[in-house]
Amino acid sequence: MKTLHGVLDTMRLENGAYLASTSQDYNYVWIRDIVYAVLPYLHSRCDRYEQAFYALFDLFRRYEWKLDIHTKQKPVFPFEHIHARYAKDLTEMPVPWGHVQNDSIGLFLWGVGEGVRVGKPMFRDAIDRAILQKIVNYLSCLEYWHCEDNGMWEENMEIHASSVGACVAGLKSVQLIAYVPDSLIENGLRTLSYLLPRESVSKETDLALLSLIYPYQLVTRNMAKRILADVTHQLERTYGVIRYKGDLYYNEHDREAEWCFGFPWLGMCYAVLGEDEMARAYWEKTQRICPPDGKVPELYIGGNRPNGNTPLAWSVAMTMILKRQVTKEQIPV
């Protein structure tokens, strides 16, 4: 665990945020990647979890004017939305990007609520609390439950179950610390009942759906089993899990890239269901693709060749989480 922790720390910035990777392509900060990167520390005595969220609160403070606008009128263009990717100093970059990523907003809310639930000091002052309420209002203004977005993989615009689910989970998580109308959650649940077990109109299943099981624990046991069956039967490969059939990212000879965090993610989903034997099986699969130096790649190309985004903070963090779950080894503080 110490090795993995050390690797993850190489991507931690002075402001408490995390780079997605030290690679040239991913030498940036994503809201989503930061939250997943600090999930290993949710139950740890160290302060990396809350420090990462303080960095995100600072980001939202800088662009509070944007929240103020879009709690009253819907954004039209992608750049008007809360951005998904930032420079190291947490400032927006003036380049076109698929910034309509509602799942990252829902994930942030969920992470704040979980931190409060386990007793972490998630708010520094009244401004942080006000920002949280404005983010809830932002999702309301977007009408997230039927808002097309770029989804977890930052690609085509459509309604994604994983994005709607993230918003539902986030809103439910902050109900006791912010004003969240019941209808705001009910509308999202209604969309999920229509979409699931599909990810979207265009995708029958998708790796992103695992988030509805872990970390959100949002779906019923029967739906979780259905999602797991679809992902394992259709998307699981030798060196990881493809995101969805026909994925063109690092596709080589019509072979989709195999994502490393897919194995520990599946393991944690089975752990949530109390299926410890399956969780251990996926820990064994994870160990087979984890390099001795702990620098877990983003993915493997063509079945057995890591791409340049090595290490990927998200991959390292998911490996740490499953390792703790299975081996009971504690995260260093």
Any domain includes 282: yes
* 191 inside domain: yes
Q: Whats the size of the chain, residue-wise?
A: 333
Encode pLDDT of 139-191 as tens digits.
Answer: 999 999 999 999 999 999 999 999 999 999 999 999 999 999 999 999 999 99
pLDDT at 123: 98
Helices within the chain (DSSP H only): 2-9, 31-38, 48-62, 64-69, 102-117, 126-142, 161-173, 182-195, 221-234, 262-272, 276-289, 313-327
Residue 187 maps to a domain: yes
- What pLDDT, on a 0 to 100 scale, did the predictor assign at position 333? 73
Whether 332 maps to a domain, the answer reads no
Condensed to tens digits (0 to 9), the pLDDT of residues 213-239 reads 999 999 999 999 999 999 999 999 999
Residue with tokens 């609160």: 57
Residue 231 belongs to what domain range? 2-327
pLDDT for the residue 316: 98
CATH number of the structural domain spanning residue 114: 1.50.10.10
What is the domain count for the chain? 1
Q: Cα(304)–Cα(308) distance, rounded to whole angstroms?
A: 13
Instruction: Work out the percent of the chain whose per-residue pLDDT is above 90.
Output: 98
Tell whether 333 is covered by a domain: no
Inside any domain, residue 216 = yes
